[in-house]
Chain A
Amino acid sequence: MAANMAPAGNRAVSAFGPVSFVQTARVLIRLAWARTGSPVLVLGIAALLLLPMVFGLVFASRGALSGDPVDFLMGRYDSLVAGLATPLIALLLGTSAFSAETDDGTLLYLVTTTTPRWWIVASRVLFASVLTGLLSAVAVLGTGLIAVSTSNPEQVVSAYTIAVFYGGVTYAALFTMLALVTRRALVSGLVYVLFWEGALSQTFQGLQYLSIRKWTAAVAESLTPSGSDRVGPSLPYALVAALVLVSVTVYLGGRRLHRPRISRIGT
């Protein structure tokens, strides 16, 4: 058998080695950052992170007049971090790379390789989720430090630091999938954040089970002493829901990349 192999076969065997997920992920994340990083993005993210901190500053400056720090922190963390900063950062980081690559056709350079398609999606989810999670955690910790110093009342600060990391991963997975299935990922994502997470899921009880913001609150509250008597999604529900969402993104995204949407401009 080997004797019949043409030079092509020998060359193929010698030139290609075992594929490393870590190496591949590094390259894919570098390519993602090359398409995502820009001064406008950095400014936008900085503004989103500073917003809850400004509220923290106002709270701290009013001293005893400010009211209960636990109520203040939980309120701002839920509305300004889990409901605004985290989803918007995830939207920017999750959609930028795939959307730009689809629009200008450079997605072809990823999908004409031997890299398993689900690796490509998983690397992009990893990139967006870790960055979103870390940045959201910075917003939580910064606001906590400014408002209540290091006191961490009822473990709210530490609970939300972990919870927004969870929220960042989940939102990033959702928006990465959005970038692969629609050409208008940014607009669709904004509509989702403002209407679904901002209005509908806050108004209708039943929708709490389909709201990443509510799942994030469930994770946070399960980590605080007073969180056991809450209603709505439970911690196990939130964890399983996030796991399902990430898995579906990686699977469907991988399938999608087998038959990529390629702009027909210039054909």
Chain B
Amino acid sequence: MSAPSSARAAVGATPLVFENVSHWYGDVVAVNNITAAVEAGITGLLGPNGAGKTTLLQLAAGLMPPSGGEVRVFGESPVEKPEIFRHVALVPEREALPGMLSARAFVEARATLLGMRDVKGAAQRALELVEMDTVADRRVHGFSKGMRQRTKLAAALVHEPRLVLLDEPFNGLDPRQRLHMMHLLEARAADGTAVLLSSHILEEIEGVASRILVMLSGRLAASGDHRTLRRMMTDRPHTVRLRASNVRVLAARLVAQPSVMGVEVESTDALVVRTTDYTAFSRLLVRAAHGEGGEAPVTLYDVQPTDESLEHVFAYLVER
């Protein structure tokens, strides 16, 4: 007797593949021509809010067909195939849970709907895994954000899926809970599970994800391990806005330096500097303001990097 198609599908095939995937809602493009593969291990999906991360995760779960391209989960299209959820779990970002149920009843409900044999045993194991077993009989209604996140995770891991899709899973977790969840996901990954987790904070996922996909405005802006991305982000030109007592003198001292790409005097007390090396520039700025060889010192009122928001960092990656 042959194994069910979904069981066969789990063997050998890449857990998740996006091939030229696009998706739009009306005339809004949410996902724009993304090609990527998610292998066993932890992959981070990084991008600012509105980048299309949630849409990409929903496409991966087959909750809608892509407008263009192809999504393959263990070698098959996940659209209209409930049986893929034997191997796949999606943890949504939103915290809402059926408030009148206890955490245990909710996780058991999921186990039943997933067709598990030992519903109670599986639910107990999943609740222990996320350290919710001691409060599992309390109603979800009174749970904190962190408890809800862990209940959602228990409901997702109850059937030990081979592909776990998590949408902003660290939201609402305190540092200890965050660390615990990271260890938990790392243990699943070590066991051969593919984990794709989204976040808009690099620091949140760089410690846990072996590979990071960066999304911006629906496009895949960059991908690689966190060191590569860090380097790409820190090697870019920085723009710094300065307010000082004598901007013309300060501009003249800075413009001759090799790490300074350009200087623009904005007003009588404001100056914008573009630099290739932020760290070197910081040291240089102090020397320039202080003055060398008897030069008159310049007083700095304000030093403000103008492009440090995540959107700017991502925008730079897209432009490369």
Residues of A within 8 A of B (CB): 1-2, 4-9, 11-19, 23-24, 27-28, 30-31, 34-35, 37, 104-106, 108-117, 258-260, 262, 264-267
Contacts and interface: CB of A to CB of B under 8 A. Distances in A.
7 contacts: A9-B11, A11-B160, A30-B101, A109-B106, A112-B90, A114-B85, A262-B63
Interface in B101-127: 101, 105-106, 108-110, 112-118, 122
A266 B200 CA distance: 13
Given A6-B10, A16-B116, A260-B63, 7 more contacts: A6-B12, A8-B10, A8-B87, A16-B117, A17-B117, A105-B92, A265-B94
Contacts of A27: 108-109, 112-113
A264 to B, nearest CB: 8
B155 A13 contact: no
A28 B98 CA distance: 12
B23 to A, nearest CB: 12
A4 B13 CA distance: 13
Nearest to B74: A8
B138 to A, nearest CB: 15
Contact of B82 (A1, A106, A114): A114
Contact of B85 (A19, A104, A112): A112
Interface in B21-80: 25, 50, 53-55, 58, 61, 63-65, 79-80
A109 B87 contact: no
Contacts of B252: none
B101 to A, nearest CB: 5
Which secondary structure dominates where chain B touches chain A? Answer: loop
B162 A109 contact: no
Most chain A CB atoms below 10 A, which of B7, B53, B101, B155: B7
A28 B109 CA distance: 8
Contacts of A116: 82
B3 A13 contact: yes
Sorted from nearest, which 7 A-B pairs have the closest CB atoms?
A: A104-B96, A17-B117, A113-B113, A267-B54, A34-B100, A105-B94, A19-B115
Interface residues of B, number: 55
A139 to B, nearest CB: 27
B3 A113 contact: no
Contacts of B101: 30-31, 34
B142 interface: no
B98 A259 contact: no
A108 B101 CA distance: 16
B132 interface: no
A8 B109 contact: no
Given A15-B116, A27-B113, A105-B92, A115 B10 contact: no
Interface in B205-241: none
Contacts of B113: 24, 27-28, 110, 113-115
B83 interface: yes
B11 A106 contact: no
B112 A24 contact: yes
Contact of B116 (A4, A17, A267): A17
Most chain B CB atoms below 10 A, which of A27, A109, A110: A109
